Chain A
């Protein structure tokens, strides 16, 4: 990973504590990390910086994760963006969408450990 170009991860999550620990962990794992505190800010940042991967929370103020996903998929760059949904609960919609969309996966916050999260990010980044 370190020999390659440093990959950018955009974290869109309204919980600042969770964002903080994710930024630390991903930075320590060699990623360049950008954070956004709500859906609207996240969408704007995504369209601006074109990150390699986006970690997207579902329940957020202003614009929820599904709305951000919809807007991204209707954008020329965003339609192929690699996205991982962050969910608090195993969400049937997230599972179904992840299956039909190869560039899309999901992380259940209470069930997946940080190392599992890194593995999922690398899996999605490795897929084309």
Chain B
């Protein structure tokens, strides 16, 4: 296109040159009257008429040159404008080609949705995702494409779409034309640039592989922890038998050893329980079952269970119960795991003679269970990772190394969020930590 415009300039310039030349030839014909007679040069006899004629001719040439100059200017402006427009058209064409290529060849499935949520212009990745031909999915409602399992959610998202609300990375399950189940994170951007009846651009980010891996991991976790439970139960009952004395008495050293076996085995049971609970939550196979729970009684039972460790470390326990927390509608199993984890962490990480406080509050800020300790605390640099899987603070690694899986707080947070609550904490290294659960 640029070459083309240069040619136009050259042609224009040539035209102007030719016009100017013809004007010159024409005007020189007129001047011949004046310059034609050589005697006039020699004798220098110019009449007044000659001079007028001369001036008139010069003026005429000047005017004609001016006109041709204006024509040149006008032509060049027009050509320049045409050339810019041409360049723009060219760049738009390039962008369109690039966009079309990107849209069509993108590994991410894209579809344009009309006002009714029907699919227009699915790209190749969309066809691959739905394992369908263009004709099979074009015109179908994207939200009705979801599988039965996500029917409720997809209907809700469709309502959002109809009320002009954007959708951001919502996980949905789809059934493909070949009856395969696929998972995707669906986002819909509302836009007016895709034609009169089109309303949004949807991206369907395929996460099926990720979900499969997650499922395999969770199933493995579940199977492994399930399989570990039978041998741990066997060890527990054999140690029970030995400690009961029904098979004869042991000396103190032997008893101490059997106790250690029992204690370590108990840790293993707790870790497998935690793993099993995590896998259940991740797979969604356990949902909170609300019952009326006396939170005070539940907490007291946990203190009874942990009493041997509390006595061993000579810890002070401060309790501040609120009667309103006697009857709370909540899942008792979930809540027990949560409170048990927080108190046992406090016991584990508080040095001898320290203090652990449990406080129940029921105020305008909601119902709260606050567990605080005067323990080793969590270093500031590591506080943002507290609720992540397998987290163990640097200073905690030196304390009770065999007693922690690093999964407890991850499980606590998952359970609380599953019950619709939240958890936060504050901690100062070497001074202690406070965990606040809002139910």
Which residues of A pack against B, CB within 8 Å?
15, 17-18, 21-22, 24-25, 28, 88-90, 109-111, 113-115
Contact = CB atoms under 8 A, between A and B. Distances in A.
Contact of B229 (A24, A110, A115): A110
A21 B276 contact: no
Interface of B: 226, 229-230, 232-234, 236-238, 240-241, 244, 246-247, 269, 272-273, 276, 333
Contacts of A111: 269
Given A21-B238, A25-B241, A89 B226 contact: yes
Contacts of B272: 110
A17 B233 CA distance: 10
A109 B230 contact: yes
A15 B234 contact: yes
A25 B272 CA distance: 26
A110 B240 contact: no
Contacts of A15: 230, 234
Contact of A113 (B240, B246, B273, B333): B240
A24 B269 contact: no
A88 B241 contact: no
B233 A114 contact: no
Secondary structure at the B interface, as helix, strand, loop or mixed, is helix
A115 B234 contact: no
A90 B333 CA distance: 10
B233 A88 contact: yes
A28 B233 contact: no
Contacts of A113: 236-237, 240
B237 A25 contact: yes
B237 A18 contact: yes
Contacts of A110: 229, 232-233, 236, 269, 272-273
Nearest to A29: B246
Contact of B234 (A21, A24, A28, A90): A21
B241 A21 contact: yes
A109 B236 CA distance: 9
28 contacts: A15-B230, A15-B234, A17-B238, A18-B234, A18-B237, A21-B241, A24-B241, A25-B237, A88-B226, A88-B230, A89-B276, A109-B229, A109-B230, A109-B233, A109-B236, A109-B237, A110-B229, A110-B232, A110-B236, A110-B269, A110-B272, A111-B269, A113-B236, A114-B237, A114-B241, A114-B244, A115-B240, A115-B244
Given A28-B246, A89-B276, A18 B240 contact: no
Contacts of B276: 89
B236 to A, nearest CB: 7
Contacts of A17: 234, 238
A22 B229 CA distance: 16
Nearest to A22: B237
A15 B236 CA distance: 14
Greatest chain A CB density within 10 A among B229, B232, B269 is at: B229
